[in-house]
Amino acid sequence: MTEPPRLPTPSHERWPLVVALLALLAGAGLLGLALAGGQGRARAANPPAAPAIVVATPTPAPAAAAPAPIMRAPAPTATERTGDERRFTANERAHVPAAWVSGFYDIYAQAQRTFGVNWLLIASVHKQETAFSTHPTTYHGLNFARCCAGPMQFNVTNRTAGTGSTWARYRDAGAPAQRPAAYPHATTRHPSVYDDYDAIMAAAALLRDSGAGPQLDASAWRAAYDYYGHDLTGVSYADEVLARAIGWGQRRFCINCGTDPGLLGAVDAAWGAPLRAEVTAAAAAAQRRKERDARRTSDPTALAARAKG
CATH number where 223 lies: 1.10.530
pLDDT single digits (tens) 232-245: 999 999 999 999 99
pLDDT of residue 87: 60
More confident residue, 26 or 135: 135
d(CA 125, CA 202): 12
Inside any domain, residue 189: yes
Query: Has residue 195 got a pLDDT over 70?
Result: yes
Q: Is 308 within the bounds of a domain?
A: no
Q: What is the mean pLDDT of the chain?
A: 82
Nearest CA-CA partner of 244 in 269, 214, 264:
264
The predicted-structure confidence for 85-142, as pLDDT tens digits, reads as follows 666 566 677 899 999 999 999 999 999 999 999 999 999 999 999 999 999 999 999 9
Q: What is the pLDDT of residues 293-307, one digit of tens each?
A: 888 777 666 666 666
Element (H, E) at 84: helix 78-93
pLDDT at 284: 86
Residue 169 · residue 104 · CB < 8 Å: no
Q: What is the mean pLDDT of residues 173-194?
A: 97
Spatial CB neighbours of 267, under 8 Å, sequence gap ≥ 6:
60, 221, 239, 242, 243, 246
How many folded domains does the chain comprise? 1
pTM: 0.73
Please give the pLDDT value at position 15: 47
H or E stretch covering 149: strand 148-149
Res 30: pLDDT: 54
Burial of residue 14, with CB atoms counted within 10 A of its CB: 0-12 exposed, 13-18 middle, 19 or more buried: exposed
DSSP, collapsed to helix, strand or coil, labels residue 140 as coil
Q: Is residue 2 part of a domain?
A: no
The proportion of the chain whose per-residue pLDDT surpasses 70, expressed as a percent, equals 71
**Does residue 54 belong to any structural domain of this protein?**
no
- Lowest model confidence (mean pLDDT) among 150-164, 216-230, 240-254: 150-164
Nearest one of 212, 172, 169 to 70, comparing CA atoms:
212
∠ Cα 82 153 90 (to 5°) = 50
Banded model confidence at residue 16, pLDDT cuts 50, 70, 90:
low
| Residue 28, in any domain of the structure | no
The one-letter code for the residue type at 138 is T
Task: Supply the pLDDT for residue 24.
Answer: 55
**How would you classify the pairing of strands 154-155 and 148-149?**
antiparallel
Return the pLDDT at 67: 47
By mean pLDDT, which of 59-63, 183-187, 224-228 is the weakest?
Answer: 59-63
Terminal Cα distance for the chain, rounded: 142
pLDDT reading at 279 higher than 50: yes
For residue 257, is it within any domain?
A: yes
Give the CB-side neighbour count of residue 155, counting CA atoms within 13 A.
21
pLDDT at 295: 81
Query: Which of the two residues, 162 and 229, has the higher pLDDT score?
Result: 229
Instruction: Identify the CA nearest to 53 among candidates 240, 187, 252.
Output: 252
Mean pLDDT, range 161-176, rounded to an integer:
93
* Mean pLDDT, range 23-34, rounded to an integer: 56
CA geometry: angle 50, 53, 56, nearest 5 deg: 155
CB 109 within 8 Å of CB 119 = yes
Residues 204 and 195 sit within 8 Å (Cβ to Cβ): no
For range 18-35, the mean pLDDT: 54
Q: Which domain holds residue 117?
A: 73-297
- Quote the pLDDT of residue 129: 96
pLDDT at 69: 45
In a domain, 132, yes or no: yes
Does 246 fall in a domain?
Answer: yes
What are the backbone dihedrals phi and psi of residue 148, each rounded to the nearest 5 degrees, phi first? -125, 155
DSSP code per residue over 203-242: HHHHHHHTT--SS-SHHHHHHHHHHH-SSHHHHHHHHHHH
